[in-house]
Amino acid sequence: MHIREQFALLALALALVLPLARPANAAMSGGPYDLPLLATVSGGGTAAGGSFTAGALNLGGPSFSSVAPSGGGYTVATGAAPAVVLLDSAQVNLASAHCYPVPFMPSRGDTVITFTGLTSSAEVRIYTISGRLVRELYKSDFGSKLAWDARNSAGQQVASGVYIYVIKGGGQTATGKLMIIW
């Protein structure tokens, strides 16, 4: 199924569910909440990323709260057409940390290797199979992903082969292998 068809089905499902929602009796609390925005699709094109921040306010959801938003503010900027927003949030541990695509093959259109399932503050180190450090990557945001362009610390394209990655974050360590085929 093409991505646009998936978005259309999701939008249709939301349109059917939202009118049937029942009011909840409690407001969301405990903020602030930061939700990094990965992408929005409007009118068939991808918009630039940004972020949506809510500070201790009731955002509702499929079951809307009867309590009015308070204790913060938010801004939503919309385009000319309805949009589907995909949100990504950091993990609390590295249990689901991994990377994709494996193998990484630019000949089939791959442009970056994405490390996902990361904590809000994470460090990724990539090593050759012989143990030489190739690249260090860092993130400190509320998303769960980090992209690597398959270049070493000097900015040079790395060679085809198998590499080991070590992810540190949230007081935990995760390891794995990846393969690059130019």
Q: Is the pLDDT of residue 26 over 70?
A: no
Amino acid at 132: R
- Residue where one domain finishes, among candidates 52, 87, 122: 87
Residue 12 pLDDT: 53
Of residues 125 and 34, more confidently modeled: 125
| Tokens (6 digits) for 9 | 């089905």
Statement to judge: residues 110 and 145 lie in one domain: yes
- 3-class SS of residue 172: strand
Is the model's pLDDT at 32 over the cut of 90? no
* pLDDT beyond 50 at 124: yes
Say yes or no: 71 and 138 in one domain.
no
CA dihedral 1, 41, 115, 87 (to 10 degrees): -110
For the chain, the farthest-separated pair of C-alpha atoms sits apart, in whole angstroms, at 60
80 and 125 in a single domain? The answer is: no
The domain of 139 spans 98-180
For residues 109 and 43, the model is more confident at 109
Based on the domain organization, do 123 and 143 belong to the same domain? yes
- Spatial contact of 16 and 39, defined as CB atoms under 8 Å apart: no
Structure confidence at residue 126 (pLDDT): 98
pLDDT in tens, 44-94: 444 444 444 444 433 444 444 444 444 444 444 444 545 555 567 889 999
Task: Report the pLDDT value the prediction gives residue 35, as an integer from 0 to 100.
Answer: 41
Q: Give yes or no: residues 65 and 128 share one domain.
A: no
Looking at residue 104, the DSSP 8-state letter turns out to be B
Q: Is the residue at 93 inside a domain?
A: no
CATH number at residue 127: 2.60.40.4070
Same domain? For 174 and 103 the reply is yes
Element (H, E) at 3: helix 3-17
- Check whether 96 has a pLDDT greater than 90: yes
Q: Based on the fold, state whether residues 81 and 107 are members of the same structural domain.
A: no
Q: How far, in Å, CA of 169 to CA of 137, rounded? A: 12
Whether residues 68 and 111 share a domain: the answer is: no
- Asked whether the predicted pLDDT for residue 127 surpasses 70, the reply is yes
pLDDT tens by residue, 128-182: 999 999 999 999 998 999 999 999 999 999 999 999 999 999 999 999 999 999 9
CA dihedral for 100, 50, 4, 149, sign (positive or negative) = negative
Residues 72 and 109 placed together within one structural domain of the fold: no
Q: Are residues 129 and 167 in the same domain?
A: yes
Centre a 10 Å sphere on the Cβ of residue 24 and count the other Cβ atoms it contains.
16
First-to-final CA distance of the chain? 28
92 part of a folded domain: no
Q: Do 21 and 82 belong to one domain?
A: yes
Can you tell me the distance from the alpha carbon of 125 to that of 84, in angstroms, rounded to the nearest whole number?
34
Closest C-alpha to 98, from 22, 43, 175 = 175
Q: Which two tokens stand for residue 85?
A: 């927003």
Count structural domains, the chain.
2
For the entire predicted model, the pTM comes to: 0.55
Q: Are residues 57 and 119 located together in one domain of the fold?
A: no
For residue 37, pLDDT over 60 is answered with no
